[in-house]
Amino acid sequence: MGDPAYRTARPTSAIPDDELIGIDTTFGFHPAMSGLAELYSTGDLAIVHGVANPSEVRSHFDAQDDVDRGWPGHTSELTGWMARAATAMTPREIPAFAIGKMMPRSLWGLPSAVAVPSLFGFKIRDLSQQHSPLAAAFETMYSVQDPDIAAAQGMRTLALLNRFGTIDGTSDTPERYGGSDIGHDLWQVAQLLNSDLDVGLVAVDHNGWDLHAQMGFWDKGRMRAQIQNLSMALAAFWADLGDHRDRVVVVCQSEFGRRIVENNSQGTDHGDASLGFVLGTSVNGGNMFGRWPGLDLDPTAGIARTTDFRSVLSAVTDRHLKLNSSLNEIFPEFAQSDDSVAQLFANA
C-alpha cells in the first residue's frame, strides 16, 4: 500500500487503505486474512518476499515440477525434495504423508510415503471388524516364512491401516476451517498430527489461484474467497494443534506469482515471484524477510525474483529438521547464501 504504483496496477481490485490490516506504512494484510494477521501479530507467522523459482518458467507444470524436485531444471530427476529429506531423517512410523488423490512429485522416490484423498476413507471395508474374513485372508496371503518385497509391503500396509483406525476424529470439518477444500485437508492433517502416530513430513496442495480473468474486487469475488479460505484454514489448523505446535513448521509457497498489472479481463496472468509464509513457534515470526523489489508497471512484469525458494526450504530443513549434513543431497547444486532469510528462525 506504500507504493503508488499499486493502485495504478490494480484499478478494480486494490484494497482501500482503511480496510487493510496494517503491518507498517508499506504493507498490510487483506481484511479477509484476519486469521493470518493475528498469527503474525503473536509472533508465530513470518513473511518472505520475492520467493521464486530461479528458472524463468511460466508453465504451471514445469514450475511445479521444479519446486517439487527441489532441483530446478533437472527434468530427469525422479525423486522429490521431501522424499530425499524423509530418507535422511530418523526413521518414522509414517515418514511422509500427503492429502490428495495422487502422490505429489515432492514425495516421488519414497516407497513408504502415503497419499490418500481422505484420512478416514483410508481403510478396507470390514477389515477392522473382529473375526473379519477379509482381514484373515489378507494376513494369510502376506504371512509367509520368507516374505518378498510385495509381502513385506503388504504386511506394512495392513499394519498401517490398523494404526489409522485408531485415530479419534471425524471427517466432518468444523465451521472454523471455512468450508473449503484446503480447510477440509488441513482439518485432517491436524487430526493426524494430534494422534499418537509418528509422522515426519506432510504435503498438501491448494489449487484455484490461476486467476486469468474475473478475479473479483477487494470485497468480493474469487480472489477474496481464496484468500479467506487459506487464512481461515491455516489459523484453525494452528489453533487445533495445541501442544503439538512446537514440533510443527508450516511452509506455504507457490510455484510462481502473478503479474502486477491487471489484464483486460480483470484478472492477472502468470508472473514471477510471490511471497511465502512460514508458521511455527521456532520461527522468528512477526517479521518480514527477503528483499522487497518494488512494483514494476510494465504489463508483462511480475514481482522480481529476490529469494530462491530453496533458501526457505533449506532453512527449514536445517533449523527445524536438523538435517544440515544432508542439505547437499536434498537440494543438489544449491548453497545457502541468502542473508535475507538468515534470521528466519528465532534460534538462528
- In a domain, residue 218? The reply is yes
- Domain housing 19: 5-91+205-341
| Residue 153 counted as domain residue | no
Position 126 confidence tier, pLDDT thresholds 50, 70, 90: low
Q: What is the pLDDT of residues 7-36, one digit of tens each?
A: 999 999 999 999 999 999 999 999 999 999
Report the SS3 class of residue 108: coil
Q: Which residues contact 131 (CB under 8 A, 6 or more apart)?
A: none
Kindly state whether residue 235 falls inside one of the protein's structural domains: yes
Q: Which residue has the cell 547464501?
A: 337
What's this model's pTM, rounded to 2 decimal places?
Answer: 0.92
Share of residues in the chain with pLDDT > 90 (%) = 79
User: In the chain, how many domains are there?
Assistant: 1
With respect to residue 141, please indicate whether it lies within any of the assigned structural domains. Answer: no
Grid cell of 7 as nine digits: 493502485
Please check whether residue 34 lies inside any domain of the structure: yes
Residue 142: band (very low, low, confident or very high) from pLDDT cuts 50, 70, 90 = low
Is pLDDT of 130 > 70? no
pLDDT, position 35: 98
Establish if 113 belongs to a structural domain: no
The residue-averaged pLDDT of 286-312 equals 96
Dump the DSSP string for 181-231.
HHHHHHHHHHHHHTSSS-EEEEEE-------SS---BTTBSHHHHHHHHHH
Asked whether residue 65 is assigned to any structural domain, the reply reads yes
Mean pLDDT in the chain? 92
- Chain-centre distance of CA 49, in angstroms? 16
What is the average per-residue pLDDT within 342-346? Answer: 93
Residue 324 has pLDDT above 70, yes or no: yes
Segment 73-103, tens digit of pLDDT: 999 999 999 999 999 999 999 999 999 989 9
- Please check whether residue 149 lies inside any domain of the structure: no
Could you give the percent of the chain with pLDDT greater than 70? 93
Question: 124 Cβ partners below 8 Å, 6+ apart?
Answer: 134, 138, 161
Of the candidates 264, 274, 268, which has an alpha carbon nearest to the alpha carbon of residue 210? Answer: 268
Q: What is the pLDDT of residue 120?
A: 83
